[in-house]
């Protein structure tokens, strides 16, 4: 059995100054093999996709790994919330996957995140709808 922890802090570089810059995003997740993939998806959705922390966490996720019984075969687990056309496209390309995310199924990386907007002096939090927990931001 293995465990992965990926508490992640992203900073925006200060122009013309050395050092880490200003905080931009804090994100962490629980969920074994899903942790790195979930954290990566959330970072991409916030930084490249322009989503809020909550939108990024709520976005559907997938995990590509190896089947322990067939190590030469890749295995994809994909949430059933992806649009049908994406699933059909994957099938058309020869991908095999297991749809997950049905009610009562506990599998995905469970995340919380905070996005910092230094210019607006705001912090926005997001939390996992797939599991019962929350996030809060203090009011100064």
Residue 140 lies in a domain: no
Q: What is the mean pLDDT of residues 43-66?
A: 92
Residue 112 lies in a domain: yes
Give pLDDT, residue 103.
54
Residue 133 lies in a domain: no
Largest Cα–Cα separation, the chain? 53
Q: What is the mean pLDDT of residues 15-32?
A: 86
Give pLDDT, residue 30.
84
**Alpha-carbon dihedral 87, 88, 94, 100, rounded to 10 degrees:** 30
The domain spanning residue 121 has which CATH number? 3.60.20.40
Range of the domain at 72: 8-127
Model-level pTM?
0.81
Residue 1 lies in a domain: no
Give pLDDT, residue 98.
85
pLDDT at 1 over 60: no
What CA–CA distance (Å, rounded) separates 2 from 72? 21
Q: What is the mean pLDDT of residues 104-131?
A: 83
Distance of CA 81 to the CA centre of its chain: 15
Q: Which of 59, 2, 54 is nearest to 27 (CA)?
A: 54
Residue 3 lies in a domain: no
8's CB contacts (< 8 A; 6+ apart) are 25, 26, 27, 28, 39, 43
Residue 96 lies in a domain: yes
Q: How many domains does the chain have?
A: 1
pLDDT confidence tier of residue 44, bands split at 50, 70 and 90? very high
pLDDT confidence tier of residue 69, bands split at 50, 70 and 90? confident
Q: What is the mean pLDDT of residues 5-33?
A: 86
Residue 15 lies in a domain: yes
Residue 107 lies in a domain: yes
């Amino acid at each position: 059995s293995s465990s992965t922890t990926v508490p992640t802090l992203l900073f925006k570089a200060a122009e013309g100054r050395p050092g880490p810059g200003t905080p931009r995003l804090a994100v962490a997740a629980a969920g074994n093999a899903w942790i790195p993939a979930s954290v990566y998806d959330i970072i991409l959705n916030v930084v490249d996709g322009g989503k809020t922390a909550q939108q990024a966490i709520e976005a559907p996720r997938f995990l590509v790994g190896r089947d322990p019984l067939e190590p030469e075969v890749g295995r994809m687990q994909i949430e059933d919330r992806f649009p049908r056309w994406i699933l059909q496209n994957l099938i058309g390309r020869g991908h095999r996957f297991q749809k997950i995310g049905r009610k009562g199924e506990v599998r995905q990386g469970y995340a919380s995140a905070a996005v910092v907007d230094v210019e607006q002096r705001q912090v926005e939090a997001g939390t996992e709808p797939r599991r019962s927990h929350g996030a809060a931001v203090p009011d100064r």
